[in-house]
């Protein structure tokens, strides 16, 4: 098995990134990437020797200080001052998995040879990635416009021996880690600080992490809802392909097909039904889950474009002999996509909670609150409250962040995306959806027990055998907190092959 991923100009896709993470691959620069980085840096060094005119961020100040010319002997200090002054993040720590993705995506963006960084700088970032030296980065501080300035400043601090890192399961000063590893701080050259700080890698890392999570939860929502459908004694007719071919949204077709496959061979789904129709939370699973799938496809396209792009400023074009100050760091495409992702994933939680409610309502021969002796036992009454609470919290989190903006840098940066806020909101919301689905699975497993001796499909029966080894049938009241946590862990550890996960 190949345990190394070569950084190159080949297009990164979601399955590739998933494999890099899952297989814990190490990073190396390809020969082509090394050549592009070195060629761009050599061009910039030559340009600085012969160029007296101001070039933004290279020999000028930053933001509204863009017209302040900086002397050549101060350029290293300029870049280091930039990194230190912008490291003003606050709030919670960014999860380590997201920080590692930030490192990876920053390395990828710098490797295209349009950023002017030293080869040594990129190799040091790769060293950090490969040895799990993960900078402490904070969730608050980015407007998602001039790049993710504050988070990326914290990401860059260890390069110059500043800030703190996670290393060997401890938080250490970067200075002490570099000394222990016999590494010298990087001496930043012209433009390097700006190349490190400009960019969308905070938003992008959250987006990629959450996309992988969302694809898994989309699959799990289909699987868990199939368990609920059989437990509720629901009908299979609404999943007939004929229904969906006359309204052929891709996600709708995929969802209906999945449900049919999950329930193939079920005694329960094929038995004669008393009820002519099911509530929307069952009957309209293809339409609701499918719309989320179509949203995921759009969000994936946006983020795949972004992570295969150059997002710092200014951009250096060696062959054209151009250094151009533009706005590729602006996070508007990501902000809109993250807001759309929030709304779509919130709906998976919303409809899941409705199925939970139907299962505990004493309908279709199921006992009220899915327990014998209701009254003496409250049974599954309160887990539905928990799910409802989370659903309402998600409705608040799903409010678009991208409709907001605020002026910064003395009016120079007068429109911002707020994509970083959308990213952190999406993180909370999507992990909330996992919690809701875990409660649905808990309820559906309990409800399906009351349909014995008739069985669901072989696939679902196999799933529930594994599940009930961890959470057996509940005969009387117990503490639900631990059961819900166990159910969440079951979903987290559930393995899905790439070809199914990203279908």
Of residues 425, 472, 402, the one with CA closest to residue 145: 402
Q: What 8-state DSSP symbol labels residue 374?
A: B
pLDDT for the residue numbered 58: 75
DSSP class per residue in 325-362: ---TT--HHHHHHHHHHHHHHHHHHHHHHHHHHHHTTT
pLDDT for the residue numbered 409: 79
10-residue mean pLDDT profile of the chain (503 residues): values are 91 96 96 98 88 71 64 80 95 98 98 97 98 98 90 98 97 98 95 94 98 98 98 98 98 98 98 96 98 98 97 94 92 97 98 98 94 85 97 97 87 85 98 98 97 97 97 93 98 92 89
CATH class, 4-199 region: mainly alpha
φ, ψ for residue 170, nearest 5 deg: -145, 160
pLDDT for the residue numbered 405: 85
Residues with a known catalytic role: 56
CB 460 within 8 A of CB 263: yes
Q: What angle do CA 333, 248, 254 make, to 5 degrees?
A: 75
- Contacts of residue 201, defined as CB under 8 A and 6 or more positions apart, other chains included, come to 102, 105, 106, 109, 148, 152, 155, 311
CB 222 within 8 A of CB 263: no
pLDDT for the residue numbered 77: 87
How far is Cα 170 from Cα 141, in angstroms, rounded to an integer? Answer: 24
Per domain, the residue ranges of the chain are 4-199, 206-501
pLDDT for the residue numbered 64: 59
Is the domain spanning 206-501 CATH 3.30.2010.10? The answer is: no
- Contacts of residue 434, defined as CB under 8 A and 6 or more positions apart, other chains included, come to 213, 217, 488, 491, 492
Q: How many helices (H) and strands (E) does the chain have?
A: 20, 9
How far is Cα 461 from Cα 234, in angstroms, rounded to an integer? Answer: 17
pLDDT for the residue numbered 1: 64
How far is Cα 85 from Cα 235, in angstroms, rounded to an integer? Answer: 62
């Amino acid at each position: 098995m190949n345990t190394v991923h070569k950084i190159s100009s080949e297009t990164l896709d979601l399955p590739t990134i998933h494999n890099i993470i899952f297989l814990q691959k190490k990073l190396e620069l390809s020969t082509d990437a090394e050549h592009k980085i070195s060629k761009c840096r050599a061009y910039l060094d030559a340009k600085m020797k012969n160029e007296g005119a101001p070039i933004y961020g290279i020999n000028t100040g930053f933001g509204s200080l863009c017209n302040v010319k900086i002397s050549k002997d101060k350029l290293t200090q300029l870049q280091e001052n930039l990194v230190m002054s912008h490291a003003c993040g606050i709030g919670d720590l960014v999860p380590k998995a997201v920080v590692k993705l930030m490192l990876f995506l920053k390395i990828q963006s710098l490797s295209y040879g349009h950023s002017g960084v030293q080869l040594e700088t990129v190799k040091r970032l790769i060293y950090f990635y490969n040895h799990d030296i993960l900078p402490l980065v904070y969730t608050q501080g980015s407007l998602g416009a001039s790049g993710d300035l504050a988070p990326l400043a914290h990401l860059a601090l260890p390069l110059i021996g500043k800030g703190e890192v996670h290393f060997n399961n401890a938080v250490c000063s970067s200075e002490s880690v570099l000394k222990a590893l016999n590494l010298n701080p990087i001496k930043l050259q012209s433009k390097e600080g700006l190349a490190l700080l400009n960019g969308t890698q905070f938003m992008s890392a959250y987006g990629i992490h959450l996309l992988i999570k969302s694809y898994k939860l989309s699959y799990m929502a289909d699987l868990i809802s199939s368990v609920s459908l059989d437990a509720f004694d629901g009908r299979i007719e609404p999943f007939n392909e004929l229904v969906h071919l006359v309204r052929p949204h891709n996600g709708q077709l995929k969802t209906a097909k999945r449900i049919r496959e999950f329930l193939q061979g079920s005694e329960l789904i094929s038995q004669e039904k008393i009820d002519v129709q099911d509530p929307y939370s069952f009957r309209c699973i293809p339409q609701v889950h499918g719309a989320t799938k179509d949203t995921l496809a759009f969000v994936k396209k946006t983020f795949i474009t972004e992570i295969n792009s150059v997002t710092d400023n200014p951009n250096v074009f060696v062959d054209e002999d151009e250094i151009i100050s533009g706005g590729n760091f602006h996070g508007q495409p990501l902000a809109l996509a993250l807001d759309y992702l929030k709304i779509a994933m919130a709906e998976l939680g919303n409809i899941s909670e409705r199925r939970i409610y139907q299962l505990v309502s004493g309908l279709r021969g199921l006992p009220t609150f899915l327990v014998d002796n209701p009254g003496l036992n409250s049974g599954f009454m309160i887990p539905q409250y928990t799910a409802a609470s989370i659903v309402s919290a998600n409705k608040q989190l799903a409010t678009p962040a991208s409709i907001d903006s605020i002026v910064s840098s003395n009016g120079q940066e007068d429109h911002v995306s707020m994509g970083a806020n959308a990213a952190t909101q999406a993180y909370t919301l999507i992990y909330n959806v996992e919690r809701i689905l875990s409660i649905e699975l808990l309820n559906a497993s309990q409800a399906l027990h009351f349909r014995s001796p008739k069985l669901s499909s072989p696939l679902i029966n196999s799933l529930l055998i594994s599940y009930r080894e961890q959470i057996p049938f509940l005969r009387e009241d117990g503490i639900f907190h631990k059961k819900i946590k166990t159910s969440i862990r079951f979903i987290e550890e559930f393995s899905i092959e790439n070809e199914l996960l990203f279908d």
